[in-house]
Structure 1
Amino acid sequence: MIQVTFITNGNKTVEAPENSNLLRVSLREKGGIPFKCGGGLCGTCKCRIEQGRENTDAIKPKERKHLTEEQFGEGWRMACQTFVNGDIAVSWPPPPPKPGSTAA
């Protein structure tokens, strides 16, 4: 089993089998990575691998449509396209404020 830490979700740490899809782990364990389509079309599940980048698989063509080489270099991936084979820690941008709400 590997450990996945969801930094943006209070450092929640869960266990998952090796070669697990990152978005599926997040959904199953309530990790909190935002998503819409789950298939690499929308880019909503963009996240940053903060630790353990070496424990992720190769960048997919669908990711290249949403992210730049610079972003890949900074550790950005799409959770729906990323498979994990070792411990990682992941974060993601907070959602934009809803219209009409006031920021604290």
Structure 2
Amino acid sequence: MVTVTFISNDGKAVEAPENSNLLRVSLREKGGIPFKCGGGLCGTCKCRIERGLENTDAVKPKEKKHLSDDDLSQGYRMACQTFVKGDVSVSW
């Protein structure tokens, strides 16, 4: 299990299975990450991995349509496209 901490939701911390989708964890555990489509089309679920960026999977092509290289270097990801393989802390 990995721990996902939702910094923007009063630091709410939840446990999820390894390789879980970040947006799905947020929806299931009421983490609060904003979203509209959930499929990588709108960019609404843009969030910042404050801690544990190394515990996320590779950036997807859909993310590169919404996030600049600068965004990515600062730890921004799209929650609907991001899978976590270790502990992360996320804000939005």
Normalised to the residue count of structure 2, the TM-score between the two structures is: 1.00
The runs of 4+ residues in structure 1 deviating greater than 3 Å are none
Query: In structure 1, what is the Cα distance between the partners aligned to 2:67 and 2:54?
Result: 18
Partner of 2:63: 63
What's the % identity of the aligned pairs? 77
Tell me which of the two structures has the higher relative contact order, counting C-alpha pairs closer than 8 angstroms and 6 or more residues apart.
2
TM-align CA RMSD:
0.2
Partner of 2:91: 91
Query: In structure 1, what is the Cα distance between the partners aligned to 2:2 and 2:50?
Result: 16
5+ long unaligned stretches in structure 2 = none
Q: How many residues align?
A: 92
Partner of 1:95: none
Normalised to the residue count of structure 1, the TM-score between the two structures is: 0.88
Alignment deviations for residues 7-49 of structure 1 (CA, whole Å, 9 cap, x no partner): 0000000000000000000000000000000000000000000
Q: CA deviation at 1:76?
A: 0.1
Partner of 1:74: 74
